[in-house]
Amino acid sequence: MVKLVTETENQPEPARNEPARPEHPHRRHWWKVPLLLFFAMAFLSSGWFTFKVASATDKIFTENIGGEAVLKQRLKGGDRVNILLIGVGGENHDGGDLADTIQLVSVEPEAKRAVMISLPRDLYVQVPDSPQQVKINEVHSIGEDQDVPGGGPALLKRKVGEILGLDVHYFVRADFDGFRQIVDSMGGVDLNVKEALYDPYYPLGHGYQVLDVKPGRQHMNGDLALKYARSRETTSDFDRSRRQQEVLVATRNKALSVAYLTNPTKISQLIDIVGDHVLTDMTLKEAQRLAEIVRDIQPERVTNQVVDGDKTGLLYDSVGPGGAYILVPTAGNYSEIQEFVKQLLGSSAARSEAAKVELRNASGVEGLAAGEREGLKAFGVNVIKVGNAAEIAQRTVIYDYTDGRKPDTIRLLKERYGAEVVVQPRPKGSGVDVRVVVGTDYQQLPAATEEAF
């Protein structure tokens, strides 16, 4: 059962125990609409649909500024392709040029793996080539308002690349109305809602709506699916991320279903929606090829991570000009974020190796090994055993019992711990591939949380 009740400011509060209205209503985020573009573009492989899309290229495709056409070269070398997904409200919404969703998707074409990294819109940054400091969601709007080559997307690409320490090759931008119409063109989506969602403060004009979604199987149209994924007044960032993943899975499955793929009318309608609500600096051929790759990536080979303060510890709450709520890097710069991202990208390769890892705590810090197990698990490392070492050790050492046959796991562990790697024969009776003895020299890094779609 899904209940959506409209309220205005003059109507009484709902008659139930409700949480107090949060202090920062501007922190609402919408879900990752632009990712749908990969799946939408996957339909463009036939000649007829290519012709139809080509007729809208003036609206969909734009010049690549600050990046380069790298997909062809990187397909040959197996390197990553980084795409910035930008979600905006659009012309029918207040602040329509603010980037409500900022997410980088890093795709490994050859390995068919992907890592999705979200940046919160309240992250306080300096605008490229300017002394001005703003929330990162305003960077896109500034680029649209000012005479910046490539506009908002190009300026935001530069900033995201600086924060994450990566080259951002492409962008895909979509708006709220595009997502609603895409879902509605599919006839809605079915979700298995795991936890009830009650939000009495979902915005509606100058008032609010009560969003009340019960557990169980629910059929949602585009408007309700967007509300379900955007709501965050009464839940955490990670609850919201989970709901976004649920919506993404349901939409992806519906889009790739046989019934949908074989319906020319539906596909034609989808392409029209893309033409009206999407912009990218890929070429048509690049978009087609990348869509084919993304379509073939299995759910277990996608990792989704939010850079935040709750779990990763990379950001912390602060107060900006005028008392505004902002997030700033814990390290005072982007170094920890970049190191975190480096390890996260390496984790997708380590995940596929499935090396059996043992952690031994020789640091003297109680519970360190157990905490590290959870952090490494999110990075794709299969920790099967933890415990205390026989004695305290000053140096962290990684013992490789595979003779180099798990290189990605060893590389990730070496980068995380900055430790010496010792190759040894496997001890008799041992069932592990790698043993990590964590010494007193290790300064614990932020943990990750595993969020795969």
Q: Using one digit for the tens of pLDDT, what is the confidence trace for 276-324?
A: 888 898 887 888 788 778 778 877 777 878 887 767 789 988 999 999 9
Mean pLDDT, range 121-139, rounded to an integer: 94
pLDDT at 11 over 50: no
Mean of pLDDT over the chain: 79
Per-residue confidence at 20, pLDDT binned at 50, 70, 90?
very low
CATH code 3.40.630.190 region(s) in the chain: 2-345
Model pLDDT, residue 439: 94
What is the pTM assigned to this prediction?
A: 0.72
Q: Does domain 354-438 have CATH number 3.30.70.2390?
A: yes
Question: What single-letter DSSP state applies at residue 46?
Answer: S
pLDDT at 255 over 60: yes
Please report, rounded to a whole number, the percentage of residues in the chain having pLDDT higher than 70.
77
Model pLDDT, residue 3: 45
Say which CATH class 2-345 falls into: alpha beta
pLDDT at 426 over 90: yes
Mean pLDDT, range 148-163, rounded to an integer: 94
The residues with which 199 forms a beta bridge, in sequence order, are 211
Which amino acid, 103?
A: Q
Higher-confidence position of 272 and 213: 213
CATH code 3.30.70.2390 region(s) in the chain: 354-438
Helix (H, G, I), strand (E, B) or coil at 196: coil
Cα–Cα distances in angstroms (integers) from residue 81 to residues 104, 297, 344, in the given order: 10, 14, 15
**Residues 159-192: pLDDT tens digits?**
999 999 999 999 999 888 888 888 898 889 999 8
Question: What single-letter DSSP state applies at residue 347?
Answer: H
Half-sphere exposure of 203 (CA within 13 A, CB side): 14
Give alpha helix (H) positions in 62-210. 71-77, 137-145, 151-164, 176-185
Burial of 165: CB neighbours in 10 Å, binned 0-12, 13-18, 19+: middle
| Range ranked top by mean pLDDT from 16-20, 258-262, 329-333, 363-367 | 329-333
SS3 content of the chain, % helix, strand, coil (to 5): 40, 25, 35
CA angle 176, 137, 53 (to 5 degrees): 40
Question: What single-letter DSSP state applies at residue 165?
Answer: T
**Residues 28-87: pLDDT tens digits?**
333 334 444 444 444 444 445 556 656 666 678 888 886 655 665 555 555 789 999 898
